[in-house]
């Protein structure tokens, strides 16, 4: 995937500046930065929800999106939610629900489930779409620590060995370092990528606290320069 | 292992028997008040007893007279209702989704909302003639602004996050309408259908009163000239009965099935 954004403005307010990056197949990239900096605007552009920007994006392909709010159809049961939205068949939808450990709840309705479970359904829906790019927008926000940890574990398992590119939006550096191979930090006005940090240690040997500390020191250094 | 939430065992609430008893008692009370008023008035030409009206209704029912006029009125109600719902829903949804169109349409809606029904009926008869088309158009024009306003509110209340979701997953347009947008509009559609029916049948009677040669409104006009209060009440009640049947057998069951998923809300 190749991203070349020159600018994105809302009226006279330029939100995004020059952003140029390439994301490889199977790469998991965390996009982080302060709240309101333009992370959501960036992913909206990426998945085609916002087409009013200057620049060019190629190679995104089919998108699977896990929204911050689960955005499920409350009038449909879980399996219908997946089948109707992605166009997949019942077997694919059931497999996706099994992957997020909700296989036995396929006939339930979203309103019967907790926020954490609804997010897992959102993840199952994104996986059932057979995406070329998976976007997770603040997928752990508003979850208690135990549920968020379970969700992170689940995502790590789901992402393992997959060939699609993943973009994970978060403002939590530890979370970014735990899940991603590469962390992009968006900051400034208009926002640009001020740091592109590749995590060298592999997933099993990685200490996300140490990685996050390293990232923070790199950020501090770049700020002082 | 199946995980059951407390709501898994929820079942739709059964019809409350005490509510039915209260409704029956309330209707019986209305009958008692009517009979008392007839007794106090002591003038059968001015206010007949409920039993006399029931007798007139039965005679008209057996002779087939009531069916002829009832079906003529019902056809006009259905025609005007379908016409008004189609135009009103299309305008309302479009106005709710496109603020630029709404800016132009809003003053028109306000003007037509405040145009007296009688003026529209008379103008339609003058411009189109004393025809069936004029009758249906007159009724529909009276109702369209109200449906437009109700559906516009529904379209404005659509969840933009679901719109984004459908777009992000590239759902086909028709599928998005059917499975994402229509269920959100269903309560507004049901509300405008219900208020539409209630208003339309009343306007249809006025339209028939002023310029048709059959229908309940025509019969009421006829018996008004003959000063036959019993017949006027019998024809009015026959149509109220039909509208209640439509409400309980069509509108409410449809509304219930459209909002069935809400029973699962925890």
The topology (CATH level 3) of A2-61+133-224 is Rossmann fold (3.40.50)
- pLDDT exceeds cutoff 60 at B210: yes
- pLDDT exceeds cutoff 50 at B27: yes
Cα separation of the two ends of chain B: 21
- For B246-249, the CB contacts below 8 A with 24+ separation are B246/B197, B247/B194, B247/B197
Nearest residue in chain A measured CA to CA from B259: A75
The overall average pLDDT reported for chain A is: 88
Sort out which chain B residues have CB atoms less than 8 A from A87's CB and list them: 171
Determine contact, residues A156/A120, Cβ cutoff 8 Å: no
- pLDDT exceeds cutoff 90 at A160: no
What's the average model confidence in pLDDT over A196-211? 79
CA A37 – CA A16 distance, rounded (Å): 8
- pLDDT exceeds cutoff 90 at B86: yes
pLDDT digit string (tens) for B43-60? 888 899 999 999 999 998
- pLDDT exceeds cutoff 50 at A107: yes
Please confirm whether the linkage preceding A190 is cis (ω < 30° from 0).
yes
pLDDT digit string (tens) for A29-88? 999 988 889 998 999 999 888 999 999 999 888 899 999 888 999 999 999 999 999 999
Sort out which chain A residues have CB atoms less than 8 A from B5's CB and list them: 108, 112-113
Question: Would you call B183 an interface residue with chain A, using a CB distance cutoff of 8 Å?
Answer: yes
Both tokens of B108, joined, read 């028109």
CB contact under 8 A, B164 and A67: yes
Nearest residue in chain A measured CA to CA from B183: A75
Mutation choice for B interface testing from A75, A115, A122 by most B CBs within 10 A: A75
**Position of tokens 């689940």?**
A154
Strands A19-22 and A13-16: unpaired
Domain B51-258 in this protein, CATH class: mainly alpha
CB contact under 8 A, A48 and B167: yes
Higher confidence at residue A141 or residue B31?
A: B31
CB contact under 8 A, A85 and B165: yes
The residues spanned by each domain of chain B are 51-258
CA B155 – CA B181 distance, rounded (Å): 9
CA B160 – CA A96 distance, rounded (Å): 26
Mutation choice for A interface testing from B2, B264, B266 by most A CBs within 10 A: B264
The beta-carbon neighbor of B179 closest among A69, A73, A112 is A73
Determine contact, residues A54/A7, Cβ cutoff 8 Å: yes
Residues on chain A bordering chain B, Cβ-to-Cβ distance under 8 angstroms: 44, 47-49, 62-65, 67, 69, 71, 73-76, 84-87, 104-105, 108-109, 111-113, 125, 129
Q: pTM value?
A: 0.77
Provide the pLDDT confidence category of residue B212 given band limits of 50, 70 and 90.
Answer: confident
Residue A35: exposure state from Cβ atoms within 10 A (0-12, 13-18, ≥19) = exposed
- pLDDT exceeds cutoff 80 at B127: yes
Q: So what's the pLDDT on residue A68?
A: 85
The beta-carbon neighbor of A49 closest among B3, B168, B179 is B168
Higher confidence at residue B13 or residue B233?
A: B233
- pLDDT exceeds cutoff 80 at B11: no
CB contact under 8 A, B179 and A67: no
CB contact under 8 A, A73 and B2: no
Sort out which chain B residues have CB atoms less than 8 A from A137's CB and list them: none
Question: Would you call B257 an interface residue with chain A, using a CB distance cutoff of 8 Å?
Answer: no
Q: What percent of chain A is helix, strand and coil (3-state, nearest 5)?
A: 40, 25, 35
Shortest alpha-carbon distance between residue B183 and chain A (Å): 7
Nearest residue in chain B measured CA to CA from A82: B169
CB contact under 8 A, B5 and A113: yes
């Amino acid at each position: 995937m190749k991203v070349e954004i020159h600018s994105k403005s809302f009226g006279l307010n330029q939100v995004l500046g020059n952003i140029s990056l390439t994301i490889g197949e199977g790469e998991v990239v965390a996009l982080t930065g302060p709240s309101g900096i333009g992370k959501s605007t960036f992913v909206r552009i990426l998945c085609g929800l916002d087409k009013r920007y200057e620049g060019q994006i190629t190679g995104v392909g089919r998108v699977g999106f896990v929204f911050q709010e689960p955005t499920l159809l409350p009038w449909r049961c879980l399996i219908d939610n997946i089948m109707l939205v992605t166009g997949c068949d019942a077997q694919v939808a059931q497999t996706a629900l099994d992957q997020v450990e909700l296989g036995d709840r396929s006939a339930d309705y979203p309103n019967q489930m907790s926020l954490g479970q609804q997010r897992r359904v959102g993840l199952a829906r994104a996986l059932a779409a057979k995406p070329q790019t998976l976007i997770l927008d603040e997928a752990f926000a508003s979850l208690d620590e135990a549920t968020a940890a379970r969700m992170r574990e689940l995502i790590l398992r789901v992402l393992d060995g997959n060939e699609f590119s993943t973009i994970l939006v978060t403002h939590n550096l530890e979370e970014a370092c735990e899940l991603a191979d590469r962390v992009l930090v968006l900051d400034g006005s208009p926002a640009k990528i001020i740091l592109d940090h590749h995590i060298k240690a592999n997933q099993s040997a990685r200490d996300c606290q140490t990685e996050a500390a390293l990232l923070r020191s790199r950020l501090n250094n770049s700020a002082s320069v | 292992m199946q995980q059951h939430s407390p709501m898994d065992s929820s079942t739709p609430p059964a019809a409350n028997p005490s509510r039915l008893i209260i409704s029956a008692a309330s209707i019986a009370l209305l009958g008692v008040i009517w009979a008392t008023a007839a007794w106090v008035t002591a003038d059968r030409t001015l206010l007949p007893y409920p039993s006399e009206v029931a007798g007139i209704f039965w005679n008209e029912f057996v002779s087939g007279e009531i069916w002829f006029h009832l079906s003529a009125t019902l056809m006009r109600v259905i025609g005007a209702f379908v016409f008004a719902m189609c135009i009103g829903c299309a305008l309302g949804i479009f106005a709710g989704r496109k603020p630029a169109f709404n800016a132009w349409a809003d003053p028109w809606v306000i003007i037509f909302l405040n145009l007296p029904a009688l003026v529209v009926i008379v103008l339609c008869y003058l411009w189109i003639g004393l025809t069936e088309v004029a009758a249906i158009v007159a009724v529909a024009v009276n109702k369209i602004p109200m449906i437009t306003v109700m559906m516009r509110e529904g379209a404005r209340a659509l969840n933009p996050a679901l719109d984004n979701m459908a777009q992000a997953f590239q759902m086909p347009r028709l599928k998005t309408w059917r499975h994402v947008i229509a269920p959100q509009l269903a309560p507004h559609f049901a509300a405008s259908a219900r208020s539409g029916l209630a208003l339309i049948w009343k306007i249809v009677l006025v339209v028939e009163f002023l310029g048709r040669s059959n229908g309940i409104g025509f019969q009421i006009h006829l018996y008004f000239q003959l000063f036959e209060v019993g017949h006027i009440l019998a024809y009015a009640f026959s149509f109220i009965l039909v509208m209640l049947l439509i409400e309980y057998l069509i509108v409410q069951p449809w509304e219930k099935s459209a909002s069935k998923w809400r029973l699962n809300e925890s």
